[in-house]
Chain A
């Protein structure tokens, strides 16, 4: 870790910045500074205002109140060009490449005029610069054709080319494997040793504790204080981020007596899983665990009729037609896809439209929609699931990840005839606070007699939420964990295969999937 002295100058300073988007306050009176040679991490849940803060610092977002100083000089108006001139470099989470232009052209446009080589020498210059940073990507290829990891590294290199005094990194490791993360961190250390101030935003707490000198925590757009990284732990950071201790993050399990079987699966087999036999009772939440890519997703999708399979299943005693999604839907079997953005939601449509699209018939009379009834219905379910939105007319794409997931959860809530919920990674990309609301909603539904199967890659989530957990490896159920045995550690052990009579961890072959 680098050690900025107390006399190091403040290079980036945000004083009392506030910003509201419509009725949603993204930031309230937040103060953040970064001194030369320091790595200052910024943490918070999704939607806590981290990206807005970076946007304001980089001149991309105009604050409603407060001011920005870069290198001791005031940023007079919201202009990324001016922020760059004052010495600010930023690597955006959602990249800032023009995808149709090639790598060299993107790098060329990213640096100030005085650093730019003559136009015709652009390619050689770009190649030399990339070599400086040990990044080997073809300079003539369109930026959009690179892999996500390459684009993320390119984004950082691009920010560094202008030789900034302060470097902002917004979730710079989301697409990187462990090796690339190390490369990136080595680069970040090198820059901070050279005196560059670094503001580092990430949700990966172990990463932050390993790299940062100081940590500032944001919650709901309000600063929760700045701390020396050495004095913090993951637990203390999470407590600051969610504002309550971690233990209460799961709803109470209801006392459920063994009931009747609602969903019964027999010899279900698909290209990447099976044969699987499974019975789920009314009101039960069953977890599916396993290393990624062992057929868990395909199993859920086959049950929903999205993926081809052989074998049979019954729901409520009646055979389930799984040849197309229509059969399971009619039988009240609902899939909550993990890929919300492209599979489950209509991003540009409003919360209202996304919520009621499956139940429009029940909200109308003679084919004409009753707007008042629709609005009341959406308001009600929105409150029940605690969806944070400015209004029900807000487009779903402008909500945070957790609230988007809640919107897709409204659908089984509105349909009275739901029997089975198949949830695929229900809280992926969802912040800690919203997770509780989602768990709570699923418990509520279970209490009403719905059978639920949850596929999750988070063992802690499965242990806290489910009544029993099935562990799948190479498409087959290899273990069942229930009762007092059910815990995070036990699930992880089962997945990595360290339990009695199973192959050691290294032998778990995830590549077959």
Chain B
């Protein structure tokens, strides 16, 4: 792969290591099994929803309804995954959560493909509907989540949660699929240029539909982990829509579609979570975290364009020379 493709991964990894090293030197509490395990677990909702967002970005769309969907899943879980239930009722309850994701995905995809709404507008509408529905079901935090489910979700080997291993495997497989298979190539082609792809004989409609369904299903799985974190049916929505887009873009995804990497997204999600994790250790207010994230996204985007910028700069030089020659 080319420099442009590796840049995000390299930059994110460097920043993760640098921030980790700094935190280790300044705070004993950072490099402990307890904190690292906790870090990897708190990363799960963002990691999963950002992977989903990456598929939406790959076909050139946005899904801003993911956060509302995750909240909806938490609220639903407070009904279907209540304590003192046997596994035979919990399993259908879990399927209901996935079903909510599936239904939302189909709804979004229908608005986007058949009614030709821009994805950002379509999912904004879905966001409002889901937000209202969540408040209807739980107007205040109520209904605890089954602790057995939570401990199953957060089980780990050593300090590494199984869920983290799972999500790494998922991202690696997804990248291999994206860059080493025909359907993956077709997905990128559709994101890069939909009209050409259709002319080439690809089923662009189906590809875009599936991408948005995959995005919502991944968001609903993220909802499980959010539920295991808040442990109660809370209708309050997190900032996951923007953070998931931020993670995907920091991981190398292009807002214009067709470019991106699932592993890159995962690493970027890890970095964003690390910032959140480190700042409280210094008793810093979280306002700094917000500002740092914003600044880093801008910095990263400028850096990712560096090859193009250098090229443009070089191309400009002979022109400057010509102008000078003419003046003289």
Contacts and interface: CB of A to CB of B under 8 A. Distances in A.
Interface of A: 58, 60, 80-81, 83-84, 90, 92, 95-101, 105-106, 108-110, 112-113, 116, 119-120, 308
A108 B203 contact: no
B208 to A, nearest CB: 15
A92 B181 contact: no
A96 B181 contact: no
B199 interface: yes
Nearest to B190: A98
Contact of B182 (A80, A83, A119): A119
A81 B182 contact: no
Contacts of B201: 80-81, 83-84, 109-110, 112
Interface in B149-196: 180-182, 185-186, 188-189, 192-193, 195-196
A113 B193 CA distance: 21
Contact of B185 (A108, A113, A308): A108
Q: From A90, A98, A109, A120, name the one whose CB has the most chain B CB atoms within 10 angstroms.
A: A98
A99 B202 contact: no
Given A96-B200, A109-B197, A116-B182, 9 more contacts: A80-B199, A80-B200, A97-B196, A99-B193, A99-B196, A105-B185, A109-B186, A109-B189, A110-B201
A145 to B, nearest CB: 13
A109 B192 contact: no
A109 B182 CA distance: 8
Contacts of A60: 198-199
Interface residues of B, number: 21
A101 B199 CA distance: 15
Contacts of A110: 200-201
A109 B198 contact: no
Given A80-B199, A80-B201, A96-B199, A101 B181 contact: no
Contacts of A308: 326
Contacts of A106: 200
Closest 10 A-B residue pairs measured CB to CB?
A: A96-B199, A84-B201, A81-B201, A98-B193, A96-B196, A98-B189, A100-B192, A98-B192, A98-B196, A80-B201
Given A98-B196, A110-B201, A120 B185 contact: no
Nearest to B185: A105
A116 B183 CA distance: 12
Interface string B258-302: 110000000000000000000000000000000000000000000
B189 A101 contact: yes
B199 A92 contact: yes
A92 B200 CA distance: 10
B212 to A, nearest CB: 20
Q: Is the interface of B mostly helix, strand, loop or mixed?
A: helix
Contacts of A113: 182
B36 to A, nearest CB: 38
A177 to B, nearest CB: 25
A397 B196 CA distance: 19
B126 to A, nearest CB: 28
A171 B326 CA distance: 42
A90 B186 CA distance: 19
5 contacts: A81-B203, A84-B201, A100-B193, A106-B200, A109-B200
A105 B203 CA distance: 16
B122 to A, nearest CB: 23
Contacts of A105: 185, 189
Q: Which one of B195, B200, B201 has the greatest number of beta carbons of chain A within 10 Å?
A: B201
B198 A80 contact: yes
Contacts of A109: 182, 185-186, 189, 197, 200-202
A77 B283 CA distance: 64
A119 B188 contact: no
A119 B189 contact: no
Contacts of A116: 182
Nearest to B184: A119
A90 B200 CA distance: 9
Contact of A119 (B181, B193, B258): B181
Nearest to A99: B193
Nearest to A113: B182
Contacts of B195: 96
B248 to A, nearest CB: 18
B260 to A, nearest CB: 13
A120 B197 CA distance: 21
A61 to B, nearest CB: 11
Contacts of A98: 189, 192-193, 196-197, 200
Which of A105, A109, A110: most chain B CB closer than 10 A? A109
Contacts of B186: 109
Contacts of A58: 199
B327 to A, nearest CB: 11
Contact of B258 (A83, A92, A96, A100): A100
Nearest to B205: A79
A101 B200 CA distance: 13
Nearest to A118: B182
Contacts of B202: 81, 109
A80 B182 CA distance: 18
A106 B196 CA distance: 10
B171 to A, nearest CB: 20
B2 to A, nearest CB: 10
Interface in B196-238: 196-203
Contacts of B203: 81
B192 A101 contact: yes
A140 to B, nearest CB: 11
B127 to A, nearest CB: 29
A306 to B, nearest CB: 16
A84 B189 CA distance: 18
Nearest to B186: A109
A454 to B, nearest CB: 29
B137 to A, nearest CB: 41
A101 B182 contact: no
Nearest to B189: A98
A81 B190 CA distance: 14
Most chain B beta carbons < 10 A, residue from A95, A112, A116, A119: A119
Nearest to A308: B326
A96 B193 CA distance: 9
B282 to A, nearest CB: 43
A90 B199 CA distance: 9
B202 to A, nearest CB: 7
Contacts of A100: 192-193, 258-259
A71 to B, nearest CB: 16
Contacts of A80: 198-201
A100 B188 CA distance: 10
Q: Which of B181, B189, B199 has the most CB of A within 10 A?
A: B199
B239 to A, nearest CB: 32
Contacts of A97: 196
Contacts of A83: 201
A92 B197 CA distance: 13
Contacts of B193: 98-100
B59 to A, nearest CB: 13
Contacts of B185: 101, 105, 108-109, 119
Nearest to A95: B196
Nearest to B199: A96
A97 B189 CA distance: 9
A119 B180 contact: yes
A286 to B, nearest CB: 30
Contacts of A119: 180-182, 185
A238 to B, nearest CB: 31
Interface string B123-149: 000000000000000000000000000
